[in-house]
Every structure is written in structure tokens, then in C-alpha cells.
Amino acid sequence: MPPWQAPRPGIVALAPLSGPDMLTGALRYIRSHWLVILVPSAVAMLVLTAVQVLLQFRLVSTLDVAGGGDPVEVTGPAFLTDVLLFGAVGLVLGLVVFPLVLSMLYSVLVPAVLGRAVPFGQALREGLRRAPALLGLQVVTALIGLVVVGVGIGLAVVIGVVGDGSGASILIAVLVGLAAYVAWIWISVTLMLAPPALVVERAGVGAALTRSRALVRGAWWRCFGILLLTAVAAAAAMGALIGIPTSLLGTGTMMSSISASPGRAPSASAFSAYFMILGIGTWLVSSVALPFGVGAVGLIYVDRRMRTEGYARELAAQAGIPGA
């Protein structure tokens, strides 16, 4: 008799998943709903990349490197005003776009596991419904991070000042600061499953945070390890396929400008072309890396529910598998 195999109606088998299962499942997740997943992701990352590239263009125009502009101008009121303006625009657009995109991406998670197609319009409507709650969740988690890290850094500064800059006080201050960042990493992993819980289970902000803490309990290191594996795999693959080639192309453009005018600094147009090429590479990499990370986190959520709640049987019943 052949060994029993868990059914796989969609992107992963309906059984507890290993780390490699989740990485391959994240790739299948993107392929299964490429239009719903890649288009919103590309739009969101285009917003972020465009703000960055425009700010770099502003820097080039301010310095006017080819004309020997005064670097002091970078600290002038006009440039600082532009930096604040670009930052504010990027923040506002991010607060509007990213919750919607993440809601859309998580809304197709369970259908992808079940092997069901989700039309773009349906995913968009679901994203619009859950985006405000996801925005609230992001604000709450950001505030938690600011409080934890802020208190730690503030305490470290006080210790350094009270200790009159002695070696012991500086060492203690550094350790306190590091402890604050370690605490934030621990909290981040503990709350990492709140977004999929909020979208999939239609939970509120508080319920989603509590749900994530319950699902991660007893498996913190495993969740952290899979997150780290996901980040390393995405960085290596995207860097090799897109990041390195675009960096080489941008560097080649800059070197051509230098060769064309020996003894002179690269022209502003060369810098602009360099930043544009790097911006396109960054946009392409992040447009794929974002849904890949969402898919991995979503499958950690599915795996934790299968391991702790028998979610595999519920999914099998939804998929119409006999005997579920």
C-alpha cells in the first residue's frame, strides 16, 4: 500500500508545513493569482520608489555636480523643505496604498490554498473593506515599537549622562539600547500573524493581535527562523536576477560619463540616469519581494492553525475533499 499523502488542492498540501514547503508555496501563491498579487504590489512599490528617485533627482539638481556646486546647499532651507515634502507625500501615499495592497494580498491566501481563483474585482472589494482595520493595526504596532525602542534608547541616554561618560556607564547604556531592539524583534515576531488573522478571520485590531500571540506561542523560534530564511532567499534570488544586473548597468552608465570627460566630475544627467536605473531595479525587486514575503507569512499562519487547531480538516472540507 502506498504511503498516505496529504491532499493538495492548491499551493500547499493540507498538512503541517516545513520551511521549504512555505517558500515553494509562496512562489505558487504568486503564480496562482499573479494579476491580483503582482499588479497591486507593483503599484505600491512604484509609489515608494518614485518618492525616493525624485528626492535623488532633487539632490542632483541642488548640487549641480558638473558645475561644481557648493555642497553646503544640501543643508539649505529649500532642500530640507523638499526632503520633508517628499517624505510627507510618501508617508501619506503609503498609509493609503499599503493597507489596501496588503489586504488584497492576504484576501487571496486561503483561496490559493484551496485552489480557487479570485477575480481582481473581488479581491479589490475585500481589500477596501479590510484596509481601514489593517491601517489601524499598522499604527498600533508602530506605536508599540516606538514606545519600546524609545524607552530603551531614552534609558540608555540617561544612564550615559548620569554615569558621566565612564566606560562602565557607556557599556551599560549600549546593552540597554541593544536590549530594546531585541525586545522589539521579539514583539514583531510575536505579532507577525496579526495581518493575516485580521483579513482571513475578519478580526478587529485587538483580536488580531491576541490571535497572533496565541498562534506564535511555543513556536517563536520556528517562526523567526522561517522569516529569516524567507528574507535570505528573497534577497539572494532577487539580488542575483535583478539587483546585481541593474547595479552593474547603473555603474556602467556612470563610468561612461567619467570616461567621456576625464578629470571632471560626472554630469548631473549621468547621476540622474544612474539613480533611474537603480530605481527601476529596486522597483522590480520589491514588487516581487513584497508578495513573496506576504505569502510566506500567510503560510506560517496557515501552518500554525493546522498544527494547533486542526485547520487542515476544515480546509479539506472547504475544498470538497471526500472524507474530510
* Residue 213 and residue 142 in contact, taking contact as beta carbons nearer than 8 Å: no
* Predicted confidence (pLDDT) per residue in 39-83, tens digit: 999 998 888 888 777 776 766 666 554 444 444 445 556 666 766
Task: Answer whether residue 233 shows pLDDT above 90.
Answer: no
Q: Rounded CA gap, 31 and 42, in Å? A: 15
**pTM, rounded to two decimals:** 0.85
Rounded to an integer, the average pLDDT of 25-31 is: 94
Look over the chain and give the mean of its residue pLDDT values, rounded to a whole number.
83
Would you tell me how many other CB atoms lie within 10 Å of the CB of residue 61?
Answer: 15
Range with the poorest average pLDDT among 65-69, 181-185, 262-266, 305-309: 65-69
Phi, psi angles (nearest 5°) of residue 323 = 85, 0
Question: pLDDT above 90 covers what percent of the chain?
Answer: 46
